[in-house]
Amino acid sequence: MRFRKRKIPVFIISGNHDNARRLSFGNDILKVANLYIITDLSKKIEIKKYGQVYHFYLIPYKSPMEIRHFTNDLSIKNHQKAMEYTISQINKKLDRTANNILVCHCFVGNRASNKEVSIGNIELIDYNIFKNFDYVALGHLHKQHCVGRNEVCYSGSILKYGFSEVNHNKSINKITITNKNVKIEHLMLSPIRDFKIMKDTLENILKFGREYFFEKGFYLQDYIHAVLLDEGDLINPIGQLRNVFPNIMSLEQQTVENEIYNSELIKSEKSKTQLELFFDFYKKFGNNQLTEEKKSYIREVINKVVQGGIDYETY
């Protein structure tokens, strides 16, 4: 309601985890309130404000298969090719005198050195493809950072999603664009509860929580992952920790024995072929044994992937 009263337009695009059709429900009605939910490859949105003209191009997540189906271009087999087509259509009508902003959900980096990398089943797209835009607002990765140049940026998630993000500094990007000059400010966010990893013996972690949290600025309501360095068995460690840290989420005991086991396991996995790794995976999670017919099919698929001659979306 505050955005509507102040006549501030809000743009939302669908990502790879969203149901685009459901998200777009009521979109035409919401446009009246300056709320734009974009789930398909739409035309530009023009905003005139402060004597400036801003053209917004919003690209929701689309798989290579969707773009290939839309264009009937069988050469579109990866996300790079799909984005090249999409951007080429925008470039045909791009007004270079306006402030051009692209909002996009994809995985962007330096494709020249990391061509085979993917995150969340989305392959890498080269940042140079966006060279005609004054600012590119990216979504998909949770950490705030810029790619290639300062004007191609991930804002990152506004909250931490797990302990892998414990060192992330969450923020909101405030972008000011005047006559194609871009100024970027990072507005830092401080959540009520943070994610923290504590690594020590059970006794020391409990002592820290009971005696020193005020002095060290440690908030007992934070989400905790405890790494216990104790050797031998412990009596109800999660219960003891929860008495001090009520929001403890998980714990592990990092003993010398476990370290040796994990090290040997990694060595064993590295020596196996892709086929052997798949068979191990299937044996662990599958309900039935692989038939010879299925094994033959898996061999064929893996060989094609290794040789680079497969369109994975057809499988």
Alpha-carbon separation of residue 74 from 65, 84, 88 (angstroms): 9, 14, 17
pLDDT tens-place values along the chain, 315 residues long = 666 777 788 888 877 777 777 877 777 777 767 777 777 776 788 888 888 999 999 988 888 888 888 888 888 888 888 888 889 889 988 899 999 999 998 888 775 555 555 555 677 888 889 999 999 999 888 888 888 888 898 888 889 888 888 888 899 999 999 999 999 999 998 888 899 999 999 999 998 888 776 666 666 788 999 999 888 788 899 999 998 898 999 998 886 555 555 555 566 667 778 777 787 777 766 656 778 888 888 888 887 776 655 444 443
User: For residues 87 and 80, what is the distance between their CA atoms, to the nearest angstrom?
Assistant: 10
Cα atoms in the Cβ-side hemisphere of radius 13 Å centred on 204: 9
User: For residues 45 and 59, what is the distance between their CA atoms, to the nearest angstrom?
Assistant: 12
Burial (CB < 10 A; 0-12, 13-18, 19+), residue 241, is buried
Q: Is the pTM of this model over 0.75?
A: no
> What backbone torsions phi and psi does residue 266 show, to the nearest 5 degrees?
-65, -45
Percentages helix, strand, coil for the chain (3-state, rounded to 5) are: 35, 25, 35
